């Protein structure tokens, strides 16, 4: 069974918001054995919506639509669907009672425009929405199911979990699909592909390997499609084991995770604490760590030491070091890391100093030059990186490089006292 997802809204096409709904829906469909053939985004124009629905009906067995179900004039989805399905609208009493109750609880007057939220397609089954005023709808049209849901993410997710997925699990024609993801680090996509080329070439036709790179990391996703889910799991695990052995030191995890999560879990298990001293990354490393639940078990704190004066007064970097070598140097980041470890009383500390750009570079120290140091239980390691001209990318790549260096030092010092 193949599905198409259609998201409706000008705000998506002009880049005002990012379409996270489609990605989440695709994950849910995949989990119940339904493959997504296409994802389309269209403007709030009836003609565009009609074209999208017509095209989707010709290439998918299931069509899911989100967005445009509000009560204002710019929300035209219901009226357009009424024309597409050649049916009128009816006011659902159970939905109207729900909407009225919401307005009564808020002690707000209810207008006719609000009552229109209870209008649904005549030929639809209501997908009740306890989280908001716009209900979802399930429509069978020419023996094909159409699922219409509001675009507000938490409302859509509620309807999908509570109303849609239970029904989809009972549909015929679903094919088992299994994804097995491995996380690698410290090796580029092209080098990784060359390293495992023979394994990839020997994959059976029903197992596909995809490379999902991001700065400093590459995820390998094995996708298997067949008749029996347990067999697919066994087959992909055999391939994953071969890949892990071949990848060697660059292998990080046999699951779809992140390096930050691996570090958090490792340090928590080993009862280790981390601190950070950041200059060019501006606190991004600390942000990535503290975004994780449970990070307080391994993260003590961090300092954004942007100026030389703060590097001296907070971290204890020597004035002579800054004068002789500059802020962006191996000597400075080593002292930053040691200083952070001392003032925060942690087992490990990360320090970063560089020229993120787009200006501030010199012929000797160009934009993209970053020095990173990690102070551990027994040693301090430092490494020079030369990234590109984009400030945001340089910050992201510096953060990932710092995590990779920390991970390597954690593993090498695992059994030391």
What is the Cα–Cα distance from 202 to 123, expressed in whole angstroms?
Answer: 50
Distance CA(365)–CA(115), nearest Å, equals 64
100: CATH: 3.40.980.10
Q: Residue 70 pLDDT > 90, yes or no?
A: no
Answer whether residue 87 shows pLDDT above 90. Answer: yes
By DSSP bridging, strand 124-127 and strand 299-304 are: unpaired
**145 and 274 both lie in a single domain:** no
Whether residue 235 is found in the same domain as residue 92: no
- 3-state SS, residue 211: strand
pLDDT higher than threshold 80 for residue 394: yes
Across 259-275, average pLDDT: 97
Query: Would you say residue 183 lies in a domain?
Result: yes
How far apart CA 33 and CA 83 sit, in angstroms, is 31
Question: For the chain, how many structural domains are there in total?
Answer: 3
pLDDT at 399: 97
Q: How much is the pLDDT for 102?
A: 87
Band (96; pLDDT cuts 50, 70, 90):
very high
pLDDT digits (tens, 9 = 90+) for 114-160: 898 999 999 999 999 999 889 999 999 999 999 999 999 999 999 99
Q: How far is CA 399 from the centre of its chain?
A: 17
Give the residue from 229, 253, 277 where a domain finishes: 253
In a domain, 11, yes or no: yes
**Boundary (domain end) residue, out of 253, 277, 298:** 253
Q: Are residues 222 and 290 in the same domain?
A: no
Enumerate the β-bridge partners of residue 381: 374
Instruction: State how far the Cα of 75 lies from the Cα of 81, in Å rounded to an integer.
Output: 12
How far is the C-alpha of 340 from the C-alpha of 350, rounded, in Å?
A: 8
The residue whose two tokens read 């997710």 is 157
Summarised one tens digit per residue, pLDDT across range 342-356 is: 999 999 999 999 999
CA atoms of 106 and 236, how far apart (whole Å): 53
Residue 107, pLDDT score? 86
Compute CA distances 262 → 33, 122, 256, 406, whole Å: 29, 51, 11, 11
> In this predicted structure, which of 107-111, 182-186, 249-253, 284-288 has the lowest mean pLDDT?
107-111
| Residue 247 in domain | yes
Closest CA relative to residue 184, chosen from 175, 193, 172: 193
Regarding whether 318 and 181 lie in a shared domain, the answer is no
Angle at 156 between CA 152 and CA 161, to 5 degrees: 155
Helix (H) or strand (E) holding 174: none
395 domain residue, yes or no:
yes
The mean pLDDT of 231-256, rounded to a whole number, is 96
Task: Tell me the per-residue pLDDT of 2-14, one tens digit each, with 9 for 90 and over.
Answer: 999 999 999 999 9
In a domain, 184, yes or no: yes
Report how far residue 64's alpha carbon sits from residue 55's, in angstroms, rounded to the nearest whole number. Answer: 13
> Within a domain: residue 161?
yes
Q: What is the CATH number of the domain that holds 247?
A: 3.30.70.2860
> Could you tell me if residue 417 is inside a domain?
no
Do 278 and 405 share a domain, yes or no? yes
Whichever domain contains 317, its CATH number is 3.90.950.20
What pLDDT is recorded for position 177? 87
> So what's the pLDDT on residue 173?
81
pLDDT of residue 310: 97
Q: Are 237 and 380 in the same domain?
A: no
Q: Provide the residue range defining the domain that includes 353.
A: 259-412
Q: Considering the chain, what percentage of its residues have pLDDT values greater than 70?
A: 100
Q: Residues of 195-230 as b/e, b for ≥16 C-beta within 10 angstroms?
A: bbeeebeeeeeebebeeeeeebbbbbebbbeeeeee
* Domain endpoint, select from 150, 168, 186: 168
- Do 282 and 355 touch, CB atoms closer than 8 A? no
pTM equals 0.75
* 191-237 per-position pLDDT tens digit: 999 999 999 999 999 999 999 998 889 999 999 999 898 999 999 99
| pLDDT of 74 higher than 80 | no
d(C-alpha 175, C-alpha 299), whole Å: 44
Give mean pLDDT, residues 265-280: 97
pLDDT at 69 (0 to 100):
87
Q: For position 417, what pLDDT does the model report?
A: 62
Rounded to an integer, the average pLDDT of 257-264 is 97
Helices (H), 294-329: 308-315, 319-325
């Amino acid at each position: 069974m193949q599905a198409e997802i259609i998201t409706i809204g000008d705000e998506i096409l002009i880049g005002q918001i990012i379409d996270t709904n489609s990605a989440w829906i695709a994950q849910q469909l995949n989990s119940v054995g339904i493959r997504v053939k296409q994802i389309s985004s269209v403007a709030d124009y009836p003609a565009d919506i009609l074209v999208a629905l017509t095209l989707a009906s010709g290439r998918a067995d299931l069509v899911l639509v989100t967005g445009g179900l509000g009560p204002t004039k710019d929300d035209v989805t219901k009226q357009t669907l009424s024309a597409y399905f050649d049916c009128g609208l009816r006011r659902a009493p159970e939905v109207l009672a729900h909407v009225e109750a919401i307005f009564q609880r808020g002690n707000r007057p209810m207008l006719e425009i609000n009552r229109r939220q209870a209008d649904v397609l005549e030929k639809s089954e209501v997908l009740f929405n306890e989280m908001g005023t716009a209900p979802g709808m399930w429509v069978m049209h020419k023996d094909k199911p159409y699922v219409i849901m509001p675009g507000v993410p938490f409302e859509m997710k509620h309807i999908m979990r509570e109303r849609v997925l239970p029904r989809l699990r009972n549909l015929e024609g679903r094919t088992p699909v299994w994804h097995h993801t491995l996380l690698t680090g410290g090796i580029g996509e092209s080098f990784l592909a060359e390293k495992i080329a023979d394994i990839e070439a020997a994959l059976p036709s029903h197992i596909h390997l995809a490379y999902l790179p991001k700065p400093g990391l590459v995820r390998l996703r094995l996708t298997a499609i067949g008749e029996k889910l347990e067999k697919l799991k066994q087959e992909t695990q055999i391939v994953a084991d071969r890949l892990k052995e071949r990848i060697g030191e660059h292998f990080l995890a046999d699951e779809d995770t992140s390096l930050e999560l691996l570090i958090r879990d490792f340090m928590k298990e080993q009862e280790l604490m981390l601190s950070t001293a950041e200059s060019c990354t501006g606190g991004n490393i600390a942000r990535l760590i503290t975004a994780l639940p449970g990070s307080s078990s391994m993260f003590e704190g961090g300092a954004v030491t942007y100026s030389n004066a703060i590097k001296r007064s907070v971290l204890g970097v020597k004035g002579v070091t800054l004068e002789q070598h500059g802020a962006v140097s191996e000597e400075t980041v080593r002292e930053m890391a040691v200083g952070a470890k001392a003032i925060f009383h942690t087992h490990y500390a990360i320090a970063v100093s560089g020229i993120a750009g787009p200006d501030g570079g010199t012929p000797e120290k160009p934009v993209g030059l970053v020095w990173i140091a990690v102070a551990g239980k027994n040693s301090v390691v430092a490494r020079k990186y030369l990234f590109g001209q984009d400030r945001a990318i340089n910050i992201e790549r510096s953060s990932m490089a710092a995590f990779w260096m920390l991970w390597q030092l954690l593993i090498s010092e695992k059994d030391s006292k």
